[in-house]
Amino acid sequence: MPSAVNLLKTMDYSVVQQCMHCGMCLPTCPTYMETKRERNSPRGRIALMRSIADGDLTVSREFADEMYYCLGCLACETACPAGVQYADLFETARAEIERTGAARGTERKFWRWLTLKVLFMHPVLLRFVGRAMWLYQGTWLERFLRQHEFFHLMPAHLRQLEPQTPVIADQFSDELIARVERPAAPKHRVGLLTGCVQDLVFSGINRDTADVLLANGCEVITPRNQHCCGSLHAHNGAVDLAQILARKQIDSFDLDNLDAIITNAGGCGSHLKKYSHLLHDDPLYAARATQWDAKVKDIHEWLVSAGFRKPTAGCGLDSTTYHESCHLCHGQKVVNQPRAILNAIPGLKVIDLPESNWCCGSAGIYNITQPEQSAKLLERKLANLEKSKAPAVATSNPGCHLQLQFGLRGKDSPSCQTVTQPVTLLARAYRNEGG
C-alpha cells in the first residue's frame, strides 16, 4: 500500500506557484506544438500539479498519461523568464504517480521491475545481458530469425521496437580503459564516468574521452564495474532507487583527490549534477553530494574551462553538423563548448543545423513509451539534417546517437551518413598528429 504522503503537497509551495503562465514556454514545447492543447504544455502541466498540491484534483490515470506524454526535454526551462525548475516538478509528479499506482498495468509493472529494479540496479547482470546480446548479434541466429520473419510473431509494439535494438560493443569500458592512466606530465587528476548504455554500446567513446583527457594533461581514474547514474530511475518516478544509485556513485570516487568527475553523456550529466537535491535529507551523504555536484563536469565543459590543446591534424571529416542533446543544452546549459571543440579541429567545417536544440524524440525511453510522438520528432530532425546537407552529425548523448542512427538507417540515400560525437572527432585529430 502506498504511503499517505502526497509528494506534490510536500514540495516547497513557492516552486509549485513560480510559473507566471506567461506562455514563453509554449513555442519551445514539442508536445504542445504537436497538439496545441494547453494541458500538453509546461504551464498546463504545472497547473495540473498545482491543483493536486492544492487538493482540487487527485492523481488519476489521465494525469499519469499526461505526465508521461511529456518528453522532459527541459526546453521550457531555457525559455522560462521566471526560472521555473520544471525538472524538479516533473520528477516529483512522476514519483507521485508511482506512489499512488495511478498508472497501473501488469505488463508495465513487469517491464519496470525488470529494467529499473533488476537490470539497471546490478551492473554485472546488465553486462551479462549485454554480452549475451553481443553473442546473439554476432552469430547466425539473428540472421536466421530475421530471414524467417520470427519477429512477426511478436506483439505489434514489441515488433516495432526490435529494429531499434542497439549493436553491443565488442569490448566494454573496463576492457578498454585501465583503472588508472597517466600522461607524461599530469596537470589534473579526474575521474571518468563510463555509464551503463554508454558502456555497453559506446565504450569506444569512453576510450576516446580518456584519450582526449590524457592529451590534455589529465590523469584519468576509472573505477571498475560502475553503476547506472540513476537518471532513468529519477525520470520515471523511482526516487528511492535513484538515491541508492547516487550513493553508490559517490562511494566509487575519491572526491577529495579529484579535480573533476567527467561525464560524456548529456542526459546522465544533467542528473549527475543534482545529487545534492536528491540526497539533501540524507545525513550521511548530503555534504558529500554537494561536493560531488561541484566536481561533475561535462567533457566539453571541462575541456574548454581547462583550456584544451587545439589539435594540429584533422579528424578525417571535411564537415559535420551538430545536434544538441536536450539535457546537455537545456539541463546543463552546455551550449557553446561542443561547438568550440568542433571548430578547433583543422579542416573541419561546422554546418549549422536548423532547430539544433529541438528534441530528436529519444528522451530517455520516450521512443519506447511514446513511439508515435517520438517518430514524429525524429522525422522532423531528419528533415532538418537533410536541409543542412552535412555528411555527418555530431551529438553528445547515447540516446540521441542511437535515435539518429536508427532514423538514418531507414532513409534512402540520406545526405548524412555518419553519426559521431565531438569528443570522438577530437580524439581522432589528436591521434592523426602522429602521422
Residue 165: per-residue pLDDT = 84
Residue pair 388/321 in contact by the 8 Å Cβ criterion: yes
Which candidate, 130, 132, 128, places its Cα nearest to that of 141? 132
Residue 415 grid cell: 545526405
Residue 1: per-residue pLDDT = 43
pLDDT at 324 over 70: yes
> How far from 239 is each of 120, 193, 197, 268, CA to CA, in Å?
14, 21, 20, 15
pLDDT at 4 over 80: no
Mean pLDDT within 387-415: 95
Mean pLDDT within 252-276: 97
What's 412's DSSP letter? S
Residue 138: per-residue pLDDT = 82
Say whether 361 sits in a helix, a strand or coil. Answer: coil
pLDDT at 321 over 90: yes
> How far from 409 is each of 386, 405, 406, 416, CA to CA, in Å?
14, 6, 5, 10
Sign (positive or negative) of CA dihedral 365, 170, 328, 372:
negative
Helix, strand, coil fractions of the chain, as percent rounded to 5: 55, 5, 35
Partners of 297 in the beta sheet?
262
pLDDT at 188 over 90: yes
What's 166's DSSP letter? P
Give the residue, 166 or 62, on which the prediction is more confident: 62
Give the residue, 6 or 236, on which the prediction is more confident: 236
**pLDDT-above-70 percentage for the chain:** 95
Mean pLDDT within 234-252: 96
pLDDT at 57 over 60: yes
Mean pLDDT within 362-390: 94
Give the residue, 54 or 153, on which the prediction is more confident: 54
Distance (Å, whole) CA 250 – CA 335: 27
Which candidate, 95, 96, 75, places its Cα nearest to that of 84? 75
pLDDT averaged over every residue in the chain: 93
Mean pLDDT within 332-351: 98
Say how many CA atoms lie within 13 Å of 222 toward its Cβ.
Answer: 28
Mean pLDDT within 232-246: 96
Residue 284: per-residue pLDDT = 97
Residue 9: per-residue pLDDT = 84
* Cα dihedral: 397, 400, 404, 406 (round 10): 110
Residue 152: per-residue pLDDT = 62
What's 273's DSSP letter? T
Instruction: Describe the crossing of helices 371-388 and 398-409 by its angle, rounded to 10 degrees.
Output: 80
pLDDT tens digits, 68-119:
999 999 999 999 999 999 999 999 999 999 999 999 889 899 989 999 999 9
pLDDT at 146 over 80: no
pLDDT at 372 over 80: yes
Q: What are the chain's domains?
A: 7-100 (1.10.1060.10), 106-308 (no CATH), 319-432 (3.40.50)
Residue 153: per-residue pLDDT = 60
Residue 244 grid cell: 541508492
Residue 159: per-residue pLDDT = 62
Distant-in-sequence, close-in-space partners of 403: CB < 8 Å, separation ≥ 6:
360, 361, 362, 367, 374, 378
Which candidate, 92, 97, 87, 15, places its Cα nearest to that of 58? 97
> How far from 393 is each of 147, 165, 320, 332, 400, CA to CA, in Å?
32, 20, 5, 21, 11
Instruction: Describe the crossing of helices 42-53 and 86-100 by its angle, rounded to 10 degrees.
Output: 50
Mean pLDDT within 391-402: 97
Q: Grid cell 569506444 — which residue?
A: 204
Sheet holding 260-263, edge to edge: 180-181, 218-221, 188-192, 260-263, 296-298
Neighbouring CB atoms inside 10 A of 391's CB total: 16
pLDDT at 7 over 90: no
Residue 161: per-residue pLDDT = 67
Mean pLDDT within 127-137: 92
Q: List, as one string, the DSSP characters of 284-340.
A: TTHHHHHHHHHHEEEHHHHHHHHTPPPPSS--S-SEEEEPPPHIIIIIS---HHHHH
Residue 304: per-residue pLDDT = 98
Give the residue, 369 or 259, on which the prediction is more confident: 259
Residue 42: per-residue pLDDT = 96
pLDDT at 45 over 90: yes
Which candidate, 332, 374, 379, places its Cα nearest to that of 355? 379
Q: List, as one string, the DSSP characters of 381-410.
A: HHHHHHHHT-SEEE-S-HHHHHHHHHHHHT
Mean pLDDT within 217-246: 96
